[in-house]
Structure 1
Amino acid sequence: MKYGVIGAGAMGVRFGTMIQENAGCDVDFIDTWEPNVEKIREQGGVYIARDHENKHIVPINIYYPEEYQGDPDAWIIFVKQMQLKDVMKRCAPIFKDHQIAFSAMNGMGHFDIISQYFPKERIIGGTAMIATVFNGPGDVDFMGAAGNEVMHMCNYDEQINDYTNAIEADFKQAGLGPVVTQNFMGTMMSKVVFNAVVNTICTMFEIQMGQFIQYPGVREMATQMFNEAYDACERAGIKLVETRQEEIDSVETVSHAYAYHYPSMYQDFSKNRPTEVDYINGYIAKIGREHDYVCRTHEFVVHEVHLAEQMRQFKSRFDVKDEQPVAEEV
């Protein structure tokens, strides 16, 4: 299949180049951030490393939406939640009826936007335990040893079809470790509730995942937050693909595996950009409110993160971590 990647950031580059390099598929990249597009064109591709080693250029084709004339079979969408509406509007003229849309973005809310351009039967949702760092325009670092990539994918309408199988085959050959499910909301929310603990707490305390897991009260904190999330989902009729205990255990295993990684929410925070907390903890709280259940911890955490964002205005410019790389963990 031929792919078009919308968003040539950390995860977009990782998925796109792995499919291009390992699966031998044609891949085009679409981006709207001018510094990134121009830098990639200037250097003849994107710099890629794995765990800070073997940094090399991978040639890619990159376009602004307005100049793209290609016709991919499937779009892979990796854009920040807050930017997606505007990016999709710019890309709308290049979408065609026969195309498929896949997205494994952080948080929830993006499928409401994507479904304005693609029918449910042509949308595939995904989640990924794949940490990637965007050092700057045209410069990406894959975190974790090759072969450790794990992701889930599920059709929005929960029906497996020929294009699901075709994309799964390409992702498998690419080394992305796909697992196909038939429980859309349960699959998507399993990653949301994980991020609602690790991403958010690491952001509030500006720490790496390995530092976070050293605190002896992590399991108790995680249990409290997961219980709220699972209670809200159960009231909404959403059955998560992982049990409560599996989610709690995953906090420890994943945090140890990516000990030196700063989650994506922290990277946005450290760059003075808005975080996606409303689409993670806020989305869990929204599900609770809609089903007569108050997720008090998640409601409070949303306020804490927004308070921390607002308080940055009082920091000296010398205190702000302007040089931290941008990371995406989806």
Structure 2
Amino acid sequence: MKYGVLGAGAMGLRFGVLLQKAGFPVDFVDIWDTQINKVKEQNGVYVSRDGENKHLVPINIFSPEDYTGNPDVWIVFVKQMQLEDALKRAGHLFTKEQYVVSPMNGMGHIEKLDQYFDTDKVISGTAMIATVLNGPGDVDFMGPAGSGSMKIVNQNETPDEMTHKIVEDFTKANLNPDLTTNFQGTLMAKVILNSVCNTLCTMFGIKMGEFIQAPTTEALSKQLINEAFDVCERAGIKLLNTREQEWQAIVAAATKAMPLHYPSMYQDMSKGRPTEVDYINGYIYELGLKYHYEATTHEFLRNLVHLSEFSRDFDPDTLLATVKE
């Protein structure tokens, strides 16, 4: 099958490059002109693994306006706050026959995808695959070849023949997919993990392997986990894990799967970009409000992240001069 990747950032590049390496035709479509121009200038994307063996991989990349291809499956990896614009610009490329797979962080993307694709052809999931975009045209795959895993789930919770073909292709590309039939439970399990690891690592500028060593980590994590589970129980969402299993998933991610990884939220924060905290901790809080429950720790962390985003724009010297006046 032919794949089109909408969003040639860290994760989009990893999925697309690995599928291309496995022998499948892949086209990349992006809305970031700097990325498009850099890849075209150097005739491909530079790929490293854990900072080593940097090499150029030729890829085809286009803007939505310049692309004329017709992939069988779209893979969508766009930041939540940019997704609406990306889908609008690429909307003329989507057909009723195409499937879409979007294992993005956070929640909010499904409703947007449903505006462009048949809901029976919308597949989401989660990706525990650490990847870093060092800069335009330069990506680093974290972990040894074949590391990382993902879950795939149909929005209608009924896998069809095409879904199984996608799982087969992803398996050949060493993306290690696991097919589930619990849509909300699958997505929320990753949202809860991200609400702990991504947010706390970002606030303190630490890698996941450093985060897990702190003596307060278990207490902080379980407080956030318990609030999120309380919300899901009230919303009638059956999660894949128990509360203890969710904590153990965080331990495994931080000690075995991605100990050297800075989460994507930290990468956004450190590069002056808006974070996805509203679609992670904020989503949990807002969902709780619908069922008369306040996940106050999640809301507190969301506000702290936004305060940190706000404070990035201050020049200490200018602020000090203003105070003296």
TM-score, normalised to structure 2, is 0.95
Matches for 1:276-291 after TM superposition, within 5 Å? 276-291=276-291
- Aligned residue number for residue 4 of structure 1: 4
Structure-2 separation of matches of 1:61 and 1:312: 35
- Aligned residue number for residue 327 of structure 1: none
Matched, 1:108 2:113: no
The alpha-carbon deviation at position 246 of structure 1 amounts to 1.2
Q: Which range moved further: 50-59 or 274-283?
A: 50-59
Structure-2 separation of matches of 1:50 and 1:251: 23
Structure-2 separation of matches of 1:259 and 1:17: 23
- Aligned residue number for residue 326 of structure 1: none
The alpha-carbon deviation at position 103 of structure 1 amounts to 0.3
Moved over 4 A (4+): none
- Aligned residue number for residue 171 of structure 2: 172
Instruction: Give the partner amino acid of 2:298.
Output: H
- Aligned residue number for residue 190 of structure 2: 191
- Aligned residue number for residue 13 of structure 1: 13
Matches for 1:56-205 after TM superposition, within 5 Å? 56-205=55-204
Structure-2 separation of matches of 1:315 and 1:141: 31
- 1:32-63 C-alpha deviation (Å, 9 max, x unpaired): 11111111111111111111111111111111
Structure-1 separation of matches of 2:295 and 2:42: 48
Matches for 1:232-271 after TM superposition, within 5 Å? 232-257=231-256, 258-271=258-271
- Aligned residue number for residue 324 of structure 1: none
SS at match of 2:115: coil
Gaps of 5+ in 1: 318-330
Q: Which has the higher contact order (CA 8 A, sep 6+)?
A: 1
- Aligned residue number for residue 323 of structure 2: none
Instruction: Give the partner amino acid of 1:96.
Output: T
The alpha-carbon deviation at position 245 of structure 1 amounts to 0.9
Contact kept in structure 1, 2:96 and 2:118, CA below 8 Å = no
Instruction: Give the partner amino acid of 2:187.
Output: M
- Aligned residue number for residue 37 of structure 1: 36
The alpha-carbon deviation at position 260 of structure 1 amounts to 2.2
Structure-2 separation of matches of 1:128 and 1:242: 16
Contact kept in structure 1, 2:130 and 2:142, CA below 8 Å = yes
Structure-1 separation of matches of 2:69 and 2:233: 43
- 1:279-317 C-alpha deviation (Å, 9 max, x unpaired): 000001111101111101111111111111112222459
Structure-2 separation of matches of 1:61 and 1:314: 40
Structure-2 separation of matches of 1:259 and 1:88: 34
TM-score, normalised to structure 1, is 0.94
Aligned pairs, number: 316
- Aligned residue number for residue 321 of structure 1: none
- Aligned residue number for residue 302 of structure 2: 302
Q: Which range moved further: 299-308 or 10-19?
A: 299-308
SS at match of 2:65: helix
- 1:240-282 C-alpha deviation (Å, 9 max, x unpaired): 1122111101222211232221111011111111110000000
Structure-1 separation of matches of 2:16 and 2:146: 16
SS at match of 1:199: helix
Instruction: Give the partner amino acid of 1:274.
Output: P
Structure-2 separation of matches of 1:217 and 1:285: 23
